[in-house]
Amino acid sequence: MSYVRLLNVTKKFGDVTAVNSLNLEIGKGECFSMLGPSGCGKTTTLRMVAGFEDLSDGEIYVGDRLISSPKRNYYLPPEKRNFGMVFQAFAVWPHLSVYENVAFPLRIRKLPASEIEKRTKDALRATNLLKAAEDSPADLSGGGKQRVALARALAINPDVMLLDEPLSSLDPHLREEMRFEIKDLQRKYGFSIIYVTHDQSEAMALSDRILVMKSGVVQQIDTPLNVYNRPANKFVFSFIGLSNFLDIVWEDGRAFVRGESAALPESLTPPEDMHGKGGLSLASRPSEIDFVSDSDEGGLRGIVSRKAFLGEIIDYQVKIGGQEIRVQKGRRAPGPELGEACWLRLLRPFWYAGEQ
């Protein structure tokens, strides 16, 4: 079922390893996102798939066809790969009309005139641009330009669509709208998407699977739900969603929140294999913490050091020992006041050991 395959793909710029032996299989019609902080290697990976960057090692296949292999010194040039691609800065040609922008890849392929017209119009219709066909793209808004770029990528009916932060130049509300338009187009045309972004909600909303990357190394590849609910490591946990970490120390075989005199309650016992380990931390999400009445219910004691009303939710900062942890509750839920002592129960605690 896998369609695009990356085997052991490595890219070095001088001494810097931008991508380190990446193995990846992307299915036909799948929407696959690459997520990570800037400089993590996600864009470099996409550009290697597109053919704009050579590989230092490894191989890339599309279907059964080898497209990049430094070992055999074989690179299928980008123009022969038959991909669609949308760039962050739109890259719409200002000297051509909207129509000519979209027709460009078809003209390059020397299709018959009637076919060019039909497919250009189809792509324009699918992106709601039919009315603007004769306009200059310079007159369009950012969203309009990005639609032109999408239509241009759609026109050749590609099997794989490469999207390089296509929405990050747009206004926030437009971004959400376009996100669903891309998803709709994918359903309609059935192409695979490789999507690069640093925006986790974008990746969550669109993707069948997400790859989280850091410093050129894969941290986790999984469904959005699993990446959120079962983060593979502390980095993934902190990168996806809001996160709290409490440093845990060991004394006489018992675990303590650093700076706190009372040992952790029984409900928060670290897993067996982490007993006695240094650099242990207890992770939780601000939305998955309850205020409980007292320590009998297995709560951690803290003092509210900040309370902010954010509209739908109330954001608390609670001091436990020397550390702080954020709690978010709906505005209707009862909660302690500023300066009050409270007990917290972590609904889904995660444990991570060792420096990361």
Partner 1 sequence: MSSITQKSRFGVAQVILFLSVAILVIVVAVPVLLILFNAFWVNGEFNIKDVYKIISEPQTYQALINSLIIACVTTIGSTIVGTFFAWLVTRTDLPYKGFMKAMFLVPFMLPSFIGALAWKMLLSPNAGFINKFFIDNFGFDGPIFNIYSYLGISLVEVMYLFPFVFIQVCGALERMDPTLEESARISGAGLFTITRKITIPLVLPSILSGSLLIMLYSMAHFGTVAVLGIENGIFNIPTLIYERIHQSGGSFDAIRTGTVLATVLIITAAFIIWLQGKVLGKGHYQIIGGKSFRPMELKLRALRVPLLIFCLVYIAFTIVLPTAVIFLVGGLKTYGLPFTWENLSLSNYKYILFEYNVTKDAIWNSVTLGLSAAVITMFAGVMISYVIVKMKVRGKRILEFLGMLPFSVPGSVIALGVILAWSGQFGINLYNTVWIILVAYIARYMAFSLKANSAALEQVHDSLVEASRACGATMWQSLKDIVLPLVRPGMLAAFFLIFLPSLRELTVSIMLYSPTTRTIGVAIYTLNEDGETVVSAALAGIALIIIIVGQMLINRFTRKVGV
Q: Which is closer to partner 1, CB of 138 or CB of 310? A: 138
156 binds partner 1 (CB under 8 A): yes
76 binds partner 1 (CB under 8 A): no
Token output for 229: 């609910």
91 binds partner 1 (CB under 8 A): yes
105 binds partner 1 (CB under 8 A): yes
39 binds partner 1 (CB under 8 A): no
Nearest distance, CB of residue 12 and partner 1, angstroms? 15
10 binds partner 1 (CB under 8 A): no
272-307 core/surface letters (b: 16 or more CB in 10 A; e: else): eebeeeeebbbbbbbebbebeeeeeeebbbbebeeb
Nearest distance, CB of residue 210 and partner 1, angstroms? 22
Stretch that binds partner 1, among 71-79, 259-267, 305-313, 338-346 (CB under 8 A): 71-79
Of the residues 16, 89, 242, 347, which one makes contact with partner 1 according to CB under 8 A: 89
Whole-angstrom Cα distance, residue 298 to residue 345?
7
Tell me how far the alpha carbon of residue 228 is from its chain's centroid.
11
Which H, E and C letters describe 241-291, residue by residue? CCCEEEEEEEECCEEEECCCCCECCHHHCCCHHHCCCCCEEEEECHHHEEE
Q: Which is closer to partner 1, CB of 33 or CB of 88? A: 88
52 binds partner 1 (CB under 8 A): yes
Stretch that binds partner 1, among 50-58, 226-234, 247-255, 320-328 (CB under 8 A): 50-58
Nearest distance, CB of residue 138 and partner 1, angstroms? 7
50 binds partner 1 (CB under 8 A): yes
Annotate 105-147 with DSSP letters as a single string.
HHHHTT--HHHHHHHHHHHHHHTT-GGGTTS-GGGS-HHHHHH
Token output for 95: 């000297």
- Number of residues binding to partner 1, judged by CB under 8 A: 31
Helices and strands of the chain, counted as H and E runs: 8, 20
341 binds partner 1 (CB under 8 A): no
To the nearest 10°, report the CA torsion of 42, 46, 52, 53: 50
Of the residues 18, 123, 162, 182, which one makes contact with partner 1 according to CB under 8 A: 162
94 binds partner 1 (CB under 8 A): yes
Contact 235, 219 (CB under 8 A): yes
Of the residues 108, 113, 338, 347, which one makes contact with partner 1 according to CB under 8 A: 108
104 binds partner 1 (CB under 8 A): yes
Nearest distance, CB of residue 104 and partner 1, angstroms? 6
Q: Which is closer to partner 1, CB of 80 or CB of 275? A: 80
Token output for 160: 């794989």
Phi/psi region, residue 241 (left: phi>0; alpha: psi -120 to 50; beta: rest), is left
Stretch that binds partner 1, among 26-34, 86-94, 275-283, 313-321 (CB under 8 A): 86-94
Token output for 143: 């969203």
Sign (positive/negative) of CA torsion 155, 61, 37, 313? Answer: positive
134-152 core/surface letters (b: 16 or more CB in 10 A; e: else): eeebeebeebbbbbbbbbb
Of the residues 93, 177, 347, 354, which one makes contact with partner 1 according to CB under 8 A: 93
Token output for 113: 């005139």
Nearest distance, CB of residue 218 and partner 1, angstroms? 22
152 binds partner 1 (CB under 8 A): yes
Token output for 182: 């891309």
Point out which residues bind partner 1 (CB under 8 A): 47, 50-52, 77-85, 87-89, 91, 93-95, 104-105, 108-109, 138, 149, 152-153, 156, 162, 169
